[in-house]
Amino acid sequence: MKNRFIAALLVLVIVLFSGCAKQVNTNNSSVSIESSDTQTSISSSQQSSKISSSSSEISSQKPLTDEDKAEQILADMTLEEKIGQMFFLTFRGGDDTDKLLELDDSAIKQIESIQPGGVVLFGENIDTVEQIRSFIDTVQAESNLSPFISIDQEGGVVQRIKKTSKINATNIPQMFDIGKTGDTDLAKQVGNVIGTELSVFGFNMDFAPDCDVFSNPKNTVIGHRAFSDDPNIVADMSIALSEGIKQSGLIPVCKHFPGHGDTVSDTHIGFAVSNKTLDELYETELIPFKTQIENGADMIMVAHISLPEINGDKTPATLSSNIVTDLLRDDLGFDGVAITDSMSMGAITENYSTSDATVMAVKAGIDMILMPNDPIKAYNSLIEAVKNNEISEERINESVLRILKLKYKYNLFEKDITADESLLGCDEHKQIINSID
């Protein structure tokens, strides 16, 4: 009996325990499910919050600026690649002829070795539309980073592309004639004509406008290349021409800082001196450049003129920190690309070695060296100057960042599409030019 009672009691305990266990399991299951649901809910909420936050960050995050993009490229560049960007080369005349209508092996090797930031074409490189396009295509194909492709197309005596039996270009009159009209709208239209026709060939830059003031009647190197002898007219007209060039998608280059219109001598031959003081420059020569800078000038070409009242000697402006850094950068607030005038001109070659002139120019604050007499020597001298701690790599980075920013601004890293050849000498362009009295 006692055994039966114990057995019954055990069965009852087992049943009760099983019931409790089931309830607990159910409760645990319920708690677990609730906990799981809660965790899932929290997890989803957190994920949603993160996505929402991320989306908010993305939506509120500004697009990459030209400087951001430039810095990304700069960070991956070697010293040699950076320094290559600081050179603007030209290829004029082959071994057996005055013309160089296609790049020869020597030119291609030079591009491959230096990887220049820019190339400028001259009359020796001009024959037909297709030939110029092919020349530029070859330069682009040999370049790791899209270079500036420029030309001197001012109008008047300085225009490398003119109407010929092979090229139906619009001939542009001298800027002095445009200045006399006082019509800034017309000047803007002329700038657009110049830029649009250059885009047919594949150029992305023009070494224009001339911002010099024709302040000295004895001046022969500028003369009627200038818009006027009135600095305010030069300022207004050069701004308008620049805007027209920009409208066509090309980069205008303002020249020849701090003003070449008062000299008598020619820097192509040797020293050309302006005896003006800084105050006198501000009264006349600097007015167009100051106005251009205030209106967002992208690139300024510095002249080789000597300013003894400022420098105390005949040091060319391109090699003077007083002019490039103190005056152009600090006083006038220019943070675009500063390029030298041709370093193969007499003011440089008659007084300095290629290596010395190159290093001096960069020390002065120049960003790009135009047409050094010996490109390879100039390139190597700048590399050595950095390696010898004569110039810091940070200083090089400043220049290269400006160059890359400008290339991004004008979409040079996107596929270039040349304008249709029918734009050359079209009726609309002729009407604009014919309206100049």
Per-residue pLDDT tens for 280-304?
A: 999 999 999 999 999 999 999 999 9
Residue 248: HSE in the Cβ half-sphere, 13 Å Cα cutoff: 31
- pLDDT higher at 146 or 28: 146
The answer to whether residues 4 and 121 belong to one domain is no
7 lies in the same domain as 113: no
The answer to the question of residue 436 being in a domain is: no
Residue 59: pLDDT band with limits 50, 70, 90: very low
Q: What type of residue sits at position 399?
A: S
Q: Are residues 26 and 156 in the same domain?
A: no
- State yes or no: pLDDT of 57 exceeds 50: no
Among 33-37, 266-270, 431-435, which stretch is predicted with the lowest mean pLDDT? 33-37
Q: Specify the pairing of strand 251-257 against strand 205-206.
A: parallel
Query: Angle at the Cα of 170 (from 167 to 174), degrees rounded to 5?
Result: 130
Q: What is the pTM of this model?
A: 0.85
C-alpha span between 215 and 229 (Å, rounded): 5
249 secondary structure, DSSP code: T
> 106 and 216 in one domain?
yes
Same domain flag for 176 and 105: yes
Residues 14 and 86 in one domain: no
Q: Is the pLDDT of residue 114 over 70?
A: yes
Which tokens go with 37? 């649901």
Task: Look up the domain containing 7 and give its range.
Answer: 1-61
Q: Does 323 fall in a domain? A: yes
Residue 315 maps to a domain: yes
Cα–Cα distances in angstroms (integers) from residue 267 to residues 16, 42, 100, 260, in the given order: 112, 76, 25, 9
247 occurs within a structural domain = yes
Does residue 435 form part of some domain? no
Tokens 């251009």 -> residue: 292
Q: Is residue 265 part of a domain?
A: yes
Beta strand extents in 170-250 (DSSP E only): 205-206
Residue after which a domain boundary falls, among 61, 76, 111: 61
pLDDT band at 409 (very low <50, low <70, confident <90, very high): very high
- Residues 175, 289: one domain? yes
Active site residue 429: no
Tell whether 25 and 78 lie within a shared domain: no
Do 247 and 201 belong together in one domain? Answer: yes
CATH number at residue 87: 3.20.20.300
Q: Domain check: are 47 and 70 in the same one? A: no
Per-residue pLDDT tens over the stretch 78-87: 999 999 999 9
Of 61, 78, 113, the last residue of a domain is: 61
Is 339 or 16 the better-scoring residue by pLDDT? Answer: 339
Q: What is the mean pLDDT of residues 131-156?
A: 97
Residues in Cβ contact with 204 at an 8 Å cutoff, skipping those fewer than 6 apart: 148, 149, 150, 249, 250, 251, 410, 412, 416
- Cα distance between residue 235 and residue 42, in whole Å: 65
Is residue 219 in a domain?
yes
Same domain, 272 and 417: yes
pLDDT band at 24 (very low <50, low <70, confident <90, very high): very low
Q: Mean pLDDT, to the nearest integer, of 20-32?
A: 35
Whole-number pLDDT of residue 88: 98
3 & 107 share domain = no
Q: Which of 45, 61, 77 is the last residue of a domain?
A: 61
| Catalytic (active site) residue 76 | no
Q: How many domains does the chain have?
A: 2
Please tell me which residue in 177, 229, 268, 326 is annotated as part of the active site: 268
Q: Given 266, 341, 367, 429, which residue is catalytic?
A: 341
Is residue 437 domain-resident?
no
How far is the C-alpha of 401 from the C-alpha of 435, rounded, in Å?
Answer: 42
Per-residue pLDDT of 87-107, as tens digits, reads 999 999 755 458 999 999 999
